Chains A and B, each alone.
Chain A
């Protein structure tokens, strides 16, 4: 009996390790091919690179490439992701809180409106959205397309439904007594929210931020419409698309670009692994 258990365990380990290696195989391919010259990658795409030092000259080429503008793209992606995350979380928490605490027909209606946003796919609103942003520019004079604020504004709009929904569910479970006590102590509504409610919402903030960070960092279609491929402000996916589009056959450099695009988020994941996995799962179960 014990022997049988042991054999099962060894068998399971072998299967797991095999699947693990298969899963990571594409990363291995990217890594070894980032360190090859354009000739080497054609003659032998699965051999180890002859000289790993080639990796550095490839990285240098991507770093200085005028179409990918690596440093500036990472900067743009970071700014857009971080500001959108903060804006989505704070604004949605504020909205969810007043929607829970003020029970009127109006608040129920607005909540349902947010929920309806969960089932509207991006494809239905993308063309009119671009037209509307252009109209805003022509009538009010506020430039929305090809700007940071336009991009972040769009992310708040698309991110709000899920965030409001999740905050709403959580805030309902917070006892009202806490807020009433603060009110008697002379706190204003604004103070109550930022000093008492917000700290309680921390676990939901973490979940929402992780889900949104992966979405926004990797998003392609929305920024391609709002910012445009090959324009001044470009995120990493836009830069990769512009680069791979102009050099269809230069696989050595495309692989290096892919490696450099994936590196920041993989490093981030490894650093915050524990919180990320916990946060993502608790988010999806709710």
Chain B
């Protein structure tokens, strides 16, 4: 065997395990999904899928439940991104200041991130259902005692955001901590001598210096909020119901849950697949747009 052929053989042999599993698990299903979204596919063995063109997409755009889920997902994503980043940044500022045991606090803030969404959902379900009213009656606060967060369609979304923030802020904090530790201390001291106050230092030195971290954290929080599934399943399973445009809808059935439910609960695989394709397109556009915008801001700062 000459060397050229041998090199080629090594190339494909080394590539094969990762490439084959990636193709079988992601790429082939992706194109199958594109095709299935334009058929009446049911996933029942033996039944052939018939071509229906854009019917599934038309059904989706006229579906009130989809429209509602779409809006709720955007609201959830926006509020989660704000809440997680605000909490994470606060944590990061605190644990990079001159206080004792800061590594200990850092680890504590991080620990909820180790808990999976499903387990975490059950913990918070118990807290909202039993613990919050109990605290209310202990302190004599009527409002807390009667607060049924998971039964009120206007409030449940905030319960989800709270649980998700609890889980994810510690991880995002780590990224901010790494960035904050890279801000040169001399710069801050020099500005202090020049008479800059806390807010001036924050806005004019720290924020521009950690702009790169903002790009990463906003990307991560945005994508992971948009795809949220596990916490919802365990905490609310999509409920409680609300009324939207004269129809009953599930107030926390966000897109990832909605796609799953359309396919399995309502037994409509092809329509679920069409919604998944749109989910993918929207997520791509939003996340690429966000990275592009943040990168531009980084340069300007």
Contact = CB atoms under 8 A, between A and B. Distances in A.
Q: Do A and B bind each other?
A: yes
A198 interface: no
B122 A214 contact: no
Interface of B: 7, 10-11, 14-15, 17-19, 21-30, 32-33, 36, 43, 45, 90-91, 94-95, 97-100, 102, 105-119, 122-124, 126-127, 130-131, 134-135, 138, 166, 170-171, 174-175, 177-178, 213, 216, 220, 227, 229-230, 233-234, 255-256, 259-260, 263, 269, 272-273, 276-277, 279-280, 283-284, 287-288
B157 to A, nearest CB: 19
Contacts of B26: 117, 120, 125, 157-158, 161
Given A121-B283, A124-B280, A125-B33, 15 more contacts: A12-B99, A13-B99, A29-B126, A41-B130, A45-B134, A46-B138, A102-B11, A138-B45, A214-B114, A220-B117, A237-B118, A261-B119, A269-B107, A281-B178, A284-B174
A218 B29 contact: no
A254 B109 CA distance: 24
A220 B263 CA distance: 18
Contacts of B273: 127-128
Q: Which of A16, A156, A158, A270 lies at the interface centre, i.e. has the most chain B CB atoms within 10 A of its CB?
A: A16
B119 A157 contact: no
A120 B108 contact: no
Interface range, A side: 35 or more
B221 to A, nearest CB: 12
Contact of A273 (B30, B45, B107, B135): B107
17 contacts: A23-B111, A95-B18, A99-B15, A110-B15, A119-B284, A119-B287, A120-B30, A121-B276, A125-B29, A161-B22, A217-B116, A218-B117, A219-B116, A261-B116, A269-B114, A270-B107, A280-B171
Nearest to A101: B11
Given A123-B279, A125-B26, A277 B174 contact: yes
Interface SS, A side:
helix
Contacts of B123: 26, 29-30, 258
Contacts of B15: 94-95, 98-99, 110
Closest 10 CB pairs of A and B: A157-B25, A218-B116, A128-B29, A128-B32, A95-B18, A125-B29, A157-B21, A91-B17, A91-B18, A156-B21
A237 B116 contact: yes
Interface string A106-135: 010010011001011111111111111010
Interface in A222-256: 237, 240-241, 244, 251, 254-255
A122 B107 CA distance: 30
A277 B30 contact: no
A240 to B, nearest CB: 6
Greatest chain A CB density within 10 A among B18, B26, B94, B115 is at: B18
A30 to B, nearest CB: 6
Given A23-B166, A262-B114, A46 B134 contact: yes
Contacts of A128: 28-30, 32-33, 36, 273
Interface in A31-56: 33, 41-42, 44-46
Nearest to B123: A26
Contacts of A220: 116-118, 229-230, 233
Given A153-B21, A219-B116, A123 B227 contact: yes
B138 A19 contact: no
A120 B25 contact: no
Contacts of B117: 218, 220
Nearest to B264: A127
